[in-house]
Amino acid sequence: MCNNWIKAYRMYSYTVDLSEFKNAVRYPGYFNRTIKPNNLIEFENKFRTAINESGSFEVAGEVCFWKVYRFSENRDNITQRLLDYLSSSTNWNDFIRTIRKIAGNPSYENFIALKNACNQPAGFAVPLTFLAFYKPIEYPMADKHIANWWAKNKIKFGYESFPAFLQGIYGSILSCKQSWDAYVAWKTFCNDYARRISENCGLSWRARDIEMAVWEAQRNYISLEVLP
């Protein structure tokens, strides 16, 4: 019943060498390892610990670089801008407060506050990555692969009345109310299917795990099963 879900999840192979960040030497103790599927949860935990215990801002830079790794032309600049902004203790503390607030109340207003708190006023995927790293049980990420899968499959899975992500040039998700509403629906789906995977397959999956399986399914043309 869950064969293709499990197949897609096991195909997840997103690997990032953090040391490829061009300014890694500026941040001793950071940007010094490779993130693979087998240590990804440890990486998530490192970020969550930094937020819950008011740790160092550098870990947010590592998460940002991980997310934008495939944007080879811009990844260093995007990451450095974030690090420069969060190096201010005022900005870092505001970022911590904002992450905690949206995790407890995922409103559109709190999402806008998160975008501003990580200096991503035109961003969508990167702010959501921070939220997903902080609370992966409940919150998935989103990018063009997720947006494409959701548009093609939401009717199949019974979400026909829910909005699709709006997409712009090169498939980047625009920051707008409809895309946030689509994300809320996508989050609901991921939580729903994490429960169904647990009940039907005996696996303890999080919203993030559903998203990872969908990400690979979209890229590899895998048809995922509708579960009861």
- The letter for the amino acid at 166 is L
| Measured torsion, CA atoms of residues 186, 190, 192, 198, in degrees rounded to the nearest 10 | 170
129 is a domain residue: yes
pLDDT at 160: 95
Task: Report CA torsion sign: 208, 86, 96, 27.
Answer: positive
Is the pLDDT score of 100 beyond 50?
A: yes
How far apart (Å, rounded) are the C-alpha atoms in residues 135 and 45? 10
62 is a domain residue: yes
227 is a domain residue: no
Number of domains into which the chain is organized = 1
226 is a domain residue: no
pLDDT at 1: 84
In this structure, are residues 133 and 48 in contact, taking their beta carbons and an 8 Å threshold? Answer: yes
Task: Report CA torsion sign: 34, 39, 45, 49.
Answer: negative
How far apart (Å, rounded) are the C-alpha atoms in residues 165 and 174? 8
Token representation of residue 127 = 């702010």
Return the closest-CA partner of residue 139 out of 180, 91, 93.
Answer: 180
Question: Tens digit of pLDDT for each residue in 29-43?
Answer: 999 999 999 999 999
225 is a domain residue: no
pLDDT at 174: 54
In this structure, are residues 82 and 60 in contact, taking their beta carbons and an 8 Å threshold? Answer: yes
- Quote the domain boundaries for residue 77: 3-220
Residue 157 binned pLDDT confidence (cut-offs 50, 70, 90): very high
Task: Report CA torsion sign: 106, 60, 50, 214.
Answer: positive
- The letter for the amino acid at 183 is Y
- The letter for the amino acid at 140 is P
Q: How many other C-beta atoms are found inside a 10 Å radius of the C-beta of residue 183?
A: 26
Q: Mean pLDDT for the chain?
A: 94
| Measured torsion, CA atoms of residues 33, 136, 14, 150, in degrees rounded to the nearest 10 | -160
Return the closest-CA partner of residue 206 out of 70, 14, 1, 40.
Answer: 40
Question: Tens digit of pLDDT for each residue in 193-212?
Answer: 999 999 999 999 999 999 99
Q: Tokens 């801008």: give the residue.
A: 81
The model carries a pTM of 0.94
Alpha helices in 22-88 (DSSP H): 40-52, 58-67, 75-86
pLDDT at 141: 97
